[in-house]
Structure 1
C-alpha cells in the first residue's frame, strides 16, 4: 500500500518550505523522488528524512521530505493548485493528499477578491514574508482589476513599497502604475468615502514616499497634501488615522523646507484634530492597539515639529528633551533615512530654542 501526506507548504523569506512523507508499506521503502508542481514550475526533492512518528506506526523511518524551495513564480500559479507527486520505484506516480488541518499558503495565490489579497499580501499582520511573492501577487492584482477598484489601489501600494524598501521593482514600473492611477484618483479624491477613500489615501501615502525616495520633494508634497485635504472625511479610526497623521507631518515638514512656514503650521495644527475620533471607537483586535500607538506617536511628532517652527521655549509646553525623527514617525521614513535619501539633519534643529531670538532662516 502506498501512503503519505503533503503536510504543509509555507513561504519563508527566501523560499517555500515543503513538508510531508510517503511510503510503500509493501516494499517498505519511500518513493525515488518527490516532485512539487505549481503552474509551470516543478521542483524535485529526495524523500529521505527521518520520521519517527511514521516509524512508530509503519516500521519505516526514512520516508520524509522537508526542504525550502526557491520558487520561480509564473502566471499559471494564480489559476491552479499546488500539488506534490510521489514517483515510486516502478516508475508509477501518485499525488499525495493534503492534511485536513495543514497549512498550504500557495492556495492564497488564487485570490479573487480584495479581502483575499489583503489578508495574504497587504495586511502587515498576516501577509507572507516572501517579498518576491508580494511583487508577483501585486502584479497579478493590477492585471485583474481597474484603477478605480480598491483591489488595484491595494496592489499599487504593495508594489510601491517593495520598490522603496527592497528595490525589487523598478522606478519606471512604479511611474507607470502612478500614471494608471492618476486620472481615476483625481476623480475619487472628491467623491470617495469609506473604504474607497482609505485606499485612495493609502496610494497618496505610498506614492508620496516614492517621490521622496526619488528626491522629488514638490511631487511628494502634493501627494501628502492630498491626504490632508480630506482629513475630515476619513470614517475609519484608528486604521486610517495613522496614515493621516504621517501625511500631516511630512506635508508640514516639506512646506517648512520650502520656506512656507505658514502652510507648514496650518498642516501641523490640523493634525491635532486627528486624536478626536468622531463617534464610538470600536476595538476588535490586538493590532488596533498598535494603530493607537502609531497615531499618538505621529501626532506627537507633528506637535513637536510645529513648536520647533513656532520657536516655542516654554518648558511646560515643550520640554527640552523633546526631539523629532523620521524614524519615529513611520517605518518607511526610517527606511529612507537609513538609505541616506532623507536625514534628521533636514529637520528643524532643537538647539534654536536656546537662542534669544529665531535665526533669520529658521522659519521663513
Structure 2
C-alpha cells in the first residue's frame, strides 16, 4: 500500500534519562513542565487526530485537549473542529465509560474487534465504534481508515509504549518527538518507552532538531529517513530533501494558528539551520500584531548577527511577499537582508491583495535558491479558503 494513503504519524513521548515513561508509584510521574506542556498543546492544535492506547486510558485517564482558547479559535477559523479527533484502539473493547477521554473535547473513535465492539456498545462508550474483524486490530487498517474515512492527514500518537513500539516495528511511524527529563527512575519494573522488537527502523534516525525547554531537552527525529519504503520525493525536479517536506508541512500547520482575517493571508514560516536545527518559527498576526507576516515574525526572534543565518533555509507556506503597504520592507527583502539564501515554499501568492507580486523572483534575482513543492499547496490554502472562494 502506498505511504501516501496513510496519515503522517508523529510519535510523542517524554522519558527519564534511563528511558522510563513513569515510575511505579500511585501518581503519574511528571517528566516535563509548563513550557513543554505548551509545546505539546501547539503540536496537538496542528494535528488532525490524537491517538493513545487503551492502556494509557486505564492508567492515566487523560483528557487530551487543546488547552489554548486562541489555538482552538484558529482551528475553527480555518474550518476545522476546535479539537482534534481523539482515537484509541482496544481489541477487547473493555474500557471505562466514565473515563475523561470520552467526555471531553470533540469527536472520539474506538477501533476494536467485532467482539470488542459488542462490549463497547453495551457499556455505552461515547464514541464512534469501528469493528475491524474477529482477529487482533491491525495498525495499517486503522491508519488507512483514519486517512480515507475520517480525513486524518496528521496523527499525533501520545502513547503508550506498546503503541509506539508496534508502530515503529511495523514501519508506520514518520516522526519522533522525544523529550528527555533530567531524572532517573531506576526501577526495572517501571514502564519503558520502547519494548523489544526486531522490526525497528534499520540504521540511525535522522536528527531534525534539538531544543532546550527549561530543564528538559526536545529531540525530533525523522523516522523514515532513508527507508526504502519512502524514498525522497521530487528531489530531482525540485532540489528538495526529505527534511524539506517535514519543515514545509510544519509551516503549513502553523498557518492554521493565524487569527482569521478578511484582508490578509494566513501564513506559517520556520527558519531552520543548515544542520537541521529549528532556529525560529512564526505565523501571520502572531502576538496580536494585525500587520506582522509569518517570515517577519520568525526572523524577528533571531539575532541579525547569528552566524547560522547565511546557511539557513526559510520555509513558508506562501511565497514571501515582494511588496506590502503595512511595513517598509517586504518579507522577501527581510529574508535577503538576514543573509538567508534558500527558501522553500508551497504556494505562489495570488493577486488577491497585491497584483503582480513576485517574491520568488526577487529572491532568485539576488542569488537565493527557491524551491517550490506544489504538493503542499492544498495544505497551505486550507486556512485561506474564505479568501479564495
Larger radius of gyration, structure 1 or 2? 1
Q: Whose RCO is larger (CA < 8 A, sep 6+)? A: 2
Superposition TM-score, scaled by structure 1 size: 0.32
Superposition TM-score, scaled by structure 2 size: 0.30
1 or 2, which has the higher helix percentage? Answer: 1
1 or 2, which has the higher strand percentage? Answer: 2
